Structure 1
């Protein structure tokens, strides 16, 4: 049975945040994350199904009629923020993005399976902006032939969603990863907590859901929004961990956190967090308005992606020698932030699009900017 999530106001949202945090502390603490990494990066424990049954994460964006919570994106953002702060292993982010698209396009069986914790989704994010050309074999099926899709979380997924286009329409192809026409090979990744695979699809016939005008764009923007939630969660956790350590550690007869140079660097991380939260709140406020949504998530990602890298870099250095050891978790957060920075659309493309939408001149090759 899937957990029911009911959010009526800020108090409920804060209570849900605490519930997710408590669940992760009990079911997927950082010691568990280390064990998953040592076992190859795929979590084979019951964390996934427990998350569906106890706190209903996977079904947050799925309508109640299909077994989900029917919650707005802001609730999913809270969950992803906590999952990111805990470095939880599992395809939660692509599953939430995919569940939103599948439910909106009438894929009731797939949506219900996701809400129940019985299906995991991987998403080829690159194809949301650059769909792969396919041949339509009917109103709701395509033949997909792709040699080298690079997909995060695909090693642990049951369903792979790929943006596709034909002469008549664009949309999503729904591919079963256990299909004989699908081959997945693990790739090395800087992020030890989010495995990446190369997917080869050899003329697979797959169900197809047509983009009615906003399917692919909304999925891409939702991915950017939720990834920012994760990045903000990482900044928050790094700051909290560093402050706790520096208030305990002594150097030259003083608490290490009392030195002005240390305080300034912690303040920089905090300012980045505050700015990121403000941009995130704005993106949430306009998310259901497509004309403003992409602009808002572009601005959000342009800031938060490098901010998370800066926070994890500075945070690691502030820990001194212990931060550079394999045993400390600082490098895991640094790795996640680095991988997140390049997981979706190139930040320079976002900056160019954002500048264009504001009527600003964007430099091109050869310009003296």
Structure 2
């Protein structure tokens, strides 16, 4: 495995950093947070038409760039660094991956080009609680002639209030565990679908609840075969977990950068606090956590590339995803907390951005499973 960036990957990362530094400013973040959508439609269209990031790992046959997961992770790291408010994680790291892994040829041909052009999508599976696998699914479906009837509620659906397409995980009535799981893709504006925003601590990323009330879907909306989607869903969630960990690694870096810059300007006892040994030690520990997190994330991205190209490697992918997420979740929140302390009282004020990263760190820690959840996954895999 080669752990050094190619020139093309460096160019992708540097271009993303340059673009987002100008586009996702503090003012832009706060404006997006105050909007109904939670992101700027104009900026989203620039990302889609100018940067073409949503097409990074979509195969060329569907209009994409045909690159790998390492390139995708490099962009996501910069998005986390600049706290980009956008439906990118939901659309690309969750819904697009679901289509690539479980979608039929017709579904890929129809929907993927629309996502490349700027349509948004998301994945709904968790019906509440802190379990992030097929056991979190309580929404159900039953057959009604040539159609399917779905009922149930989903929680914590990223950008679920505004997505154009929904990918729904539901289980056959009477099933449990991994049995009976199916995936369906449909347009969000549909009779039987009720969407509402959830109040969240992190205002830079919106979550929604989705209620299905006798939603009638045709069998053409089924992704793959009936009652066989548990393994596909696990793979989709592992890929999304790696993507989220990449965002966390980027946020950690920015938290360190803005904190070091601040300590250079704050004076106590006649000199900059950046020269105090205690501050230096905290900054060094933050940097160490950054480097470890980045190593875990890019190792997981390499495993993801292999898993997407060859198909198997389910155990290796799950282990790598959980290692990256468990470490990044704790390290990001620890770094954000240290940043608040090093800023002093002003760190909690609205004028400084460090509190925005603190909230994103806590929200990201719990989404798709916190560190304890993922450590248990790793331990369970080692015991199997």
* TM-score (ref. length: structure 2): 0.85
- Structure 2 counterpart of 1:234: 251
**Change in CA separation of 1:234 and 1:70 when aligned onto 2, cut-off 3 Å:** same
CA positional deviation for 1:26: 3.0
**Change in CA separation of 1:29 and 1:170 when aligned onto 2, cut-off 3 Å:** same
**Change in CA separation of 1:264 and 1:209 when aligned onto 2, cut-off 3 Å:** same
- Structure 1 counterpart of 2:310: none
**Change in CA separation of 1:136 and 1:351 when aligned onto 2, cut-off 3 Å:** farther
- Structure 1 counterpart of 2:130: none
1:222 aligns with 2:239: yes
Question: For residues 212 and 196 of structure 1, what CA distance do their matches in structure 2 show?
Answer: 24
- Structure 2 counterpart of 1:115: 116
1:86 aligns with 2:82: yes
- Structure 2 counterpart of 1:194: 205
Deviates more, 1:68-77 or 1:129-138: 129-138
Q: Which whole-Å deviations, capped at 9, do the CAs of 1:192-223 have from their partners, x for residues lacking one?
A: 10112121111112312025674212111011
Question: For residues 28 and 199 of structure 1, what CA distance do their matches in structure 2 show?
Answer: 29
Q: Which whole-Å deviations, capped at 9, do the CAs of 1:214-259 have from their partners, x for residues lacking one?
A: 4212111011100000000100000011111112322211221110
TM alignment of 1:246-325, pairs within 5 A = 246-287=263-304, 288=307, 289-325=313-349
- Structure 1 counterpart of 2:185: 174
Does the CA-based 8 Å contact 1:120-1:159 persist in structure 2? yes
SS in 2 for 1:155: coil
- Structure 2 counterpart of 1:5: none
Does the CA-based 8 Å contact 2:134-2:181 persist in structure 1? no
Q: Which whole-Å deviations, capped at 9, do the CAs of 1:254-293 have from their partners, x for residues lacking one?
A: 2211101111111111111111112112212322122311
- Structure 2 counterpart of 1:4: none
TM alignment of 1:34-113, pairs within 5 A = 34-40=30-36, 42-96=38-92, 97-104=94-101, 105=103, 106=105, 107=107, 108-113=109-114
Does the CA-based 8 Å contact 1:135-1:143 persist in structure 2? yes
CA positional deviation for 1:90: 1.5
Question: For residues 198 and 291 of structure 2, what CA distance do their matches in structure 1 show?
Answer: 35
**Change in CA separation of 1:113 and 1:138 when aligned onto 2, cut-off 3 Å:** farther
Match of 1:209 among 218, 223, 226: 223
Does the CA-based 8 Å contact 2:182-2:230 persist in structure 1? no
Deviates more, 1:219-228 or 1:319-328: 319-328
Q: Which whole-Å deviations, capped at 9, do the CAs of 1:301-330 have from their partners, x for residues lacking one?
A: 111111111111111111112212111111
- Structure 1 counterpart of 2:141: 134
Question: For residues 37 and 229 of structure 2, what CA distance do their matches in structure 1 show?
Answer: 37
Question: For residues 287 and 333 of structure 2, what CA distance do their matches in structure 1 show?
Answer: 14
Question: For residues 300 and 125 of structure 1, what CA distance do their matches in structure 2 show?
Answer: 22
Deviates more, 1:222-231 or 1:124-133: 124-133
Does the CA-based 8 Å contact 2:124-2:154 persist in structure 1? no
CA positional deviation for 1:87: 1.2
Question: For residues 182 and 57 of structure 2, what CA distance do their matches in structure 1 show?
Answer: 19
Question: For residues 149 and 183 of structure 2, what CA distance do their matches in structure 1 show?
Answer: 12
Question: For residues 18 and 346 of structure 1, what CA distance do their matches in structure 2 show?
Answer: 30
TM alignment of 1:347-358, pairs within 5 A = 347-358=371-382
* TM-score (ref. length: structure 1): 0.88
**Change in CA separation of 1:332 and 1:355 when aligned onto 2, cut-off 3 Å:** same
In structure 2, list runs of 5 or more residues that go unmatched.
Answer: 128-132, 308-312
Deviates more, 1:22-31 or 1:303-312: 22-31
In structure 1, list runs of 5 or more residues that go unmatched.
Answer: 1-7, 361-369
Question: For residues 194 and 321 of structure 1, what CA distance do their matches in structure 2 show?
Answer: 25
SS in 2 for 1:286: helix
Does the CA-based 8 Å contact 1:41-1:194 persist in structure 2? no
SS in 1 for 2:251: helix
RMSD: 2.2
SS in 1 for 2:46: helix
Question: For residues 145 and 7 of structure 2, what CA distance do their matches in structure 1 show?
Answer: 48
Does the CA-based 8 Å contact 2:325-2:370 persist in structure 1? no
